Amino acid sequence: MSIAHEASDGRKAAYRPGRPDLIPGRRHGGGYRGGAGLPAESSLPSVLPGTHPGHPPPRPSGPRWHDNPVSFPISPGPGAAGARPITVIAHRGASEDVPEHTLAAYRRAIEDGADGLECDVRLTSDGHLVCVHDRRINRTSNGRGAVSALELADLAALDFGSWKEYPDPYESPEHEERERTSVLTLDRLLRLVADAPRPVELAIETKHPTRWAGQVEARLLELLDRYRLTTPVRVMSFSARSLHRVRAGAPDLPTVLLTHWLLPRHREGRLPPGVRIAGPSIRALRAHPEYVARAHEAGYAVHVWTVNEPEDVRFCAELGVDAVITNRPRQVLAQLR
């Protein structure tokens, strides 16, 4: 049976699930059973209700997002009376100090005082959203292959943390702190945010293109509807089509258009319909510093990524941006406040 997927040019093609790249510790057959990789996730079903192994979950039948509209006040600009502090978002957690996208990285970010957490999500072949940035797991684990071609059990058997602490992850010793080495599901991250001792914002980036097309957004809205977080949540993407899907299913959920560069239409203060937050890179903002004022005049908030260097933090503060996304939340907070 073929499954439709979306190519980078927007065309639909057919994907036929095949054998993914062999990886150390891979288990064939059966669903996720917890244990070796994610003991805290053992209560999750190996396959979502109404689906079959190897197939993503069905789309929700209609809007399911709860009625909890969130607004993001726009900063009055540098030196203005009553200026709102810049929101500091931890990029993949406190990823300078702790392996990115691990539960330990997000715990550290909360401990460091980050206002919010940022994560990337990808859909596994058995319908679970996991926090992984790259299309393939080669860089951040001791395995190989595309996330979309692997099951959660495959990922749970791997080490997603020792690459940051040891030169050769294939020869690294067993790491006793599983929160630093286990793959993290979005479900588990949502629980961390829900249980946090203080309000913590969440910025979720959908990664595209992907063979599962709109199933990523469908599963994301399903999870958000289940948790009904009271803290601000927003969905970010470089894909305007992805944001359109999110708005179709959850009109009140804020969306952020991420951009590597500012195209002429962006510099003129235009974003896709319904998008209220601009997400330029720090490099784009360096090239067009006037954009912040233009975006604010058009009624948009501005969230900038990835802001790590002190001079870039100072630059963003002078321009009056609304949020910065950084690998170093503790240091950035200390500089700003």
The confidence score (pLDDT) of residue 213 equals 81
- CA-CA distance, 44 to 184, in Å (whole number)? 13
pLDDT above 80 (res 93): yes
Class at the top of the CATH hierarchy for domain 35-336: alpha beta
State what percent of residues in the chain have pLDDT above 70: 72
pLDDT above 80 (res 169): no
Mean pLDDT, rounded, for 136-147: 97
Q: Is the dihedral of CA 256, 270, 74, 325 positive or negative?
A: positive
Confidence bin at 33 (pLDDT 50/70/90) = very low
Q: Where are the domains of the chain?
A: 35-336
Active site residues: 91, 133
- CA-CA distance, 132 to 152, in Å (whole number)? 12
User: Whose structure tokens read 């991250």?
Assistant: 189
Q: 3-state secondary structure string, 207-218?
A: CCCCCCCCHHHH
Lowest mean pLDDT among 22-26, 106-110, 120-124, 326-330: 22-26
Q: How does DSSP assign 185-214, residue by residue?
A: BHHHHHHHHHT-SS--EEEEEEP-S-TTTT
| Spatial CA neighbour of 89 closest among 254, 223, 238, 200 | 200
SS3 of residue 107 by DSSP = helix
Do 96 and 127 meet the contact criterion of CB atoms below 8 Å apart? no
- CA-CA distance, 291 to 236, in Å (whole number)? 19
Do 151 and 238 meet the contact criterion of CB atoms below 8 Å apart? no
SS3 of residue 306 by DSSP = coil
pTM score, two decimals? 0.77
